[in-house]
Amino acid sequence: AVAKTLGGRGFTPKNTIFAHSVCSDEVNNKDEQLVALMVNRWQEGFSLGGLAGFPFAGKSGFRAFLHHVPDEGKLLVMFAPHVGIDAEKVGALQRD
C-alpha cells in the first residue's frame, strides 16, 4: 500500500532516497521488520540513528543525507518508536 501510494506520487527507487530513524532495539533489526522491508523496496537506506524514533543525526547527519538525494529527487523519511505486539496484547513483547 505504501509503495503503491508513493508510486502514484512519483516516488521510485531510482529517484528516491529512503532514510529511517527507529528505536535501535534489536527487535527492529530483523529481516522481516519494517526497516528491512523498506530498504529492500527502495533499494537502499540511510540511517539517521535514533532512540524511541527520534533521529540523532543532527545538522551534519541531515546534510550528509541530503547529499545522497538524486538530482530532482525525493526524500522519504520514516521515524517511529517500536511497540511490542504479541499474540495476547499490544505494548509487550516476549523476548526469547
Average pLDDT value for residue range 24-29: 69
Residues 6+ apart with CB under 8 A from 20: 35, 38, 39, 45, 46, 47, 48, 77, 78, 79
Q: What is the pLDDT of residue 34?
A: 81
Q: Please choose, from the candidates 50, 80, 44, 52, the residue with its C-alpha nearest in 3D space to the C-alpha of residue 62.
A: 50
> Each residue of 30-85: pLDDT tens digit?
767 788 888 999 999 998 887 777 888 888 988 988 998 888 899 999 887 777 77
pTM: 0.77
- Spatial distance between the Cα atoms of 21 and 34, rounded to a whole number of angstroms: 11
- Of 15, 74, 20, 8, nearest in space to 47 by CA: 20
Give residue 28's pLDDT band: very low, low, confident or very high (50, 70, 90).
low
